[in-house]
């Protein structure tokens, strides 16, 4: 049955990723047996993964809609900076901790929604190419952040705020718990909901989707808002983990998140992309960075390895799909 074949093929991409993940994991364990497999290390990887993983999902969602969001890292830091200003000034004013934190989260989300609304508005309603819009807003958000911080970092959080990024629940880091929740929520949203269905359709052919009576503009707006909210969550985790908020946190995640999304099987042209693939890709990248750090490999070599894996996996995808069609065609 071609039905099975088709789904089997889609699964194959993720299967390759799974194999690679296991391979790097085993490799790292073999190279640094005592250190890599320590629960402490596993836990610390679980601490590190979410902030990047969330950004990668934020990127993936936009790519699936046929766009790209270059402003993710600055959306994250901008919303955490605005929240940080509020949190630190309120907590100095002696407001109760839980109120402060709750309000801080609300403020971060509100800021990110505003940021996402700018992206969404210009992309969907004005009709500018996403890459350009987000290139502009990237600069804009960085500028606003810098203007607030004047180049420094905003700190002075109450200790309980640090819980968000640093505590564990029965050994599982809180950020990881948040991440899993986000993955599940995104999976429902993208894979099961009307919204997600529309996003995939728009990513393939916005015009035909519009002709089908779907409110393409509103869906696109939703995509950028959703992406921005994810950014804010990542930003909050980062500011809690780093005990401060600053415009440059996570700036190196931008290109990495594109790489993760694509490595995870997202079609850069839009319309295709799976959450599980992206999550697997994020895990692969995490194991490689942590592993090479522990083994003590020159960080530039890590860059080279990641680049090579990216090309390798995509080449593999291409070759296997070609063999497939040869065999049958």
Partner 1 sequence: MDSSEFLHIEKVSKTFPGVKALNDISLSVRKGEIHALIGENGAGKSTLIKILSGVYQPDEGAEIVIEGWRAHSLTPIESAKRGISVIYQDFSLFPNLTVGENIAVARDIEKGSTFVHWREMRRTAGKILERLGVEINIDAPLGSLSIAKQQLVAIARSLTYNAKLIIMDEPTSALSKGEVDLLFRIMRSLRAEGISFLFVSHKLDELFAISDRFTVLRDGKYLGTFDEEGLDDDRLISLMVGRKIEYTIFPKRRRTESVLEVRDISRTGCFQNISFDLREGEILGLTGLVGAGRTEILQAIYGINPPDSGKILMHGTEISVRSPIDAVRHEIAYIPENRLAEGLVLRKTMSDNIVVTILDKISNRLGLIQRDKQNRLAQDWIQRLNIKPNIPEMQTSKLSGGNQQRIVIVKWLARDSKILLVDEPTNGIDVGAKMEIHRILRDLAESGMSILLVSSELPEILAIADRIIVMRRGRIAGQFDGDTATQEMIMEKAILGIKQQVR
Partner 2 sequence: GGKKFTIVVMPKLVGIPYFNASEVGAKQAGVDLGINVIYTGPTTPDAAQQVRMIEDLISKGVDAIAVAPNDPAALTPVLMKARRAGILIADWDTPADKKLVDLSVHQIDDKEYGQHIWDLLVQQMGPSGDYAIITGGLSAANLNAWINAGLSYAKTKYPNLHLVTDKVPSDEKQQIAYQKALDLITAYPNLKGIIGISTPAPLGAAQAVEEKGLKDKIAVVGTALPTDSRPFLEDGSLRVATLWDPSKLGYLTVYLIDQMLSGKKPVNGQDVPNVGKITVWPDGKTVIMGPPSDFTAENAKNYSF
Partner 3 sequence: MAIAMLPIILTGGIDVSVASIIAAVTVIIGNFMIGVSSNIFAVFVVGCASGAVLGLINGLLVAKLKIPPIVATLGTMSIIIGVVLYVTNGTWITGIPQNFINFGRTDLFAVSVRVGEPIGLPIQFVFLFGAAALMWFVLRHTLVGRGVYAMGGSVVSAERIGYDLGKITIFIYTFEGFLIGLAGSVHTSIMRQVDPGAFSGFELHVIAAVVLGGASVLGGYGSVFGTLLGVALFAVLNNGLILMHIPVFWQKIVVGIVLIASISVDILQKRYSESRMTRVDIEPVEG
Interface ranges with partner 3 (CB under 8 A):
70, 118, 122, 126-129, 131-133, 135-144, 146-147, 150-151, 255, 258-259, 262, 267-269, 298, 300-304, 306-308, 310-311, 314-315, 318-319
Could you tell which of partner 3, partner 2, partner 1, none binds residue 325, using a CB distance below 5 to 8 A set by kind?
partner 1
Nearer to partner 2, 128 or 162 (CB): 162
306 touches partner 2 (CB under 8 A): no
Could you tell which of partner 1, partner 2, partner 3, none binds residue 262, using a CB distance below 5 to 8 A set by kind?
partner 3
Shortest distance, position 151 Cβ to partner 3, whole Å: 8
Nearer to partner 1, 201 or 221 (CB): 201
Could you tell which of partner 2, partner 1, partner 3, none binds residue 255, using a CB distance below 5 to 8 A set by kind?
partner 3
293 three-class SS: helix
Shortest distance, position 279 Cβ to partner 2, whole Å: 18
- The residues, any chain, with a CB within 8 Å of residue 257's CB and separated by 6 or more, are 52, 55, 56, 58, 59, 72
- The angle subtended at Cα 110 by Cα 105 and Cα 116, nearest 5°, is 125
Given a contact cutoff of 8 angstroms between Cβ atoms, the answer to whether 14 and 274 are in contact is yes
296 three-class SS: coil
Shortest distance, position 125 Cβ to partner 3, whole Å: 10
Two tokens, residue 286: 């995490």
Q: Helices 174-187 and 39-64: crossing angle, nearest 10°?
A: 30
Nearer to partner 2, 250 or 273 (CB): 250
Could you tell which of partner 3, partner 2, partner 1, none binds residue 142, using a CB distance below 5 to 8 A set by kind?
partner 3
Nearer to partner 1, 202 or 282 (CB): 202
Could you tell which of partner 1, partner 2, partner 3, none binds residue 48, using a CB distance below 5 to 8 A set by kind?
partner 2
User: What residues does 169 pair with on adjacent strands?
Assistant: 172
Given a contact cutoff of 8 angstroms between Cβ atoms, the answer to whether 200 and 271 are in contact is yes
Query: How far is 29 from 37, CA to CA, in rounded Å?
Result: 6
Contact flags string 115-144 toward partner 2, x per CB under 8 A: ------------------------------
CA dihedral 106, 107, 108, 110 (to 10 degrees): 90
Count of residues interacting with partner 2 (CB under 8 A): 43
Given a contact cutoff of 8 angstroms between Cβ atoms, the answer to whether 284 and 20 are in contact is yes
85 touches partner 2 (CB under 8 A): no
Two tokens, residue 95: 């407001």
Shortest distance, position 315 Cβ to partner 3, whole Å: 5
Query: How far is 183 from 281, CA to CA, in rounded Å?
Result: 14
Query: How far is 325 from 307, CA to CA, in rounded Å?
Result: 27
Shortest distance, position 106 Cβ to partner 3, whole Å: 25
The Cβ of residue 20 has, within 10 Å, a number of other Cβ atoms equal to 21
Query: How far is 256 from 222, CA to CA, in rounded Å?
Result: 24
Nearer to partner 2, 205 or 302 (CB): 302
Contacting residues toward partner 1, per CB under 8 A: 2-3, 5-7, 188, 192-195, 197-198, 200-201, 204-205, 207-215, 271-272, 325, 328-329
**198-227 b/e with 16+ CB inside 10 Å = b?**
bbbbbbeebeebeeeebebbebbbbbbbbb
- List residues binding partner 2 (CB under 8 A): 32, 34-36, 38, 40-41, 44, 47-48, 51, 146, 149-153, 155, 162, 165-166, 238, 241-244, 246-253, 289-290, 293-294, 296, 298-300, 303
């Amino acid at each position: 049955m071609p039905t099975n074949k088709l789904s089997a093929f889609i699964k194959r991409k993720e299967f390759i990723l799974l194999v690679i993940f296991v391979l790097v994991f085993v490799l790292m364990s073999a190279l640094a047996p005592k250190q890599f497999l320590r629960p402490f290390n596993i836990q610390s990887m679980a601490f590190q993964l979410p902030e990047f993983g969330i950004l990668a999902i934020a990127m993936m969602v936009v790519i699936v809609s046929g766009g790209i969001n270059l402003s993710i890292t600055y959306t994250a830091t901008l919303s955490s900076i605005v929240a940080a200003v509020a949190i630190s000034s309120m907590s100095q004013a002696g407001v109760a901790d839980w109120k402060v934190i709750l309000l801080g989260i609300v403020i971060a989300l509100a800021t990110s929604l505003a940021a996402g609304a700018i992206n969404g508005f210009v992309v969907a309603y004005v009709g500018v190419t996403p890459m350009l819009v987000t290139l502009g807003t990237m600069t804009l958000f960085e500028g606003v952040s810098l203007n607030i911080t004047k180049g420094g970092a905003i700190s002075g959080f109450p200790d309980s705020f640090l819980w968000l990024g640093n505590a564990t629940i029965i050994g599982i880091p809180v950020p990881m718990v948040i991440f899993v929740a986000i993955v599940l929520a995104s999976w429902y949203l993208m894979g099961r909901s009307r919204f997600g269905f529309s996003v995939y359709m728009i990513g393939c052919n916005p015009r035909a989707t519009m002709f089908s009576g779907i409110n393409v503009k509103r869906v696109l707006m939703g995509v950028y808002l959703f992406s921005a909210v994810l950014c804010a969550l990542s930003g909050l985790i980062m500011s809690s983990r780093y005990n401060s908020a600053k415009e440059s946190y996570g700036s190196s995640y931008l290109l990495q998140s594109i790489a993760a999304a694509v490595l995870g099987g997202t079609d850069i042209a839009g319309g295709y992309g799976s959450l599980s693939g992206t999550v697997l890709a994020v895990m692969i990248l995490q194991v490689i960075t942590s592993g090479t750090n522990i083994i003590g490999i020159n960080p530039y070599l890590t860059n080279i390895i990641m680049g090579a894996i990216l090309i390798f996996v995509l080449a593999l995808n291409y070759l296997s799909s070609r063999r497939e069609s040869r065999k049958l065609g």
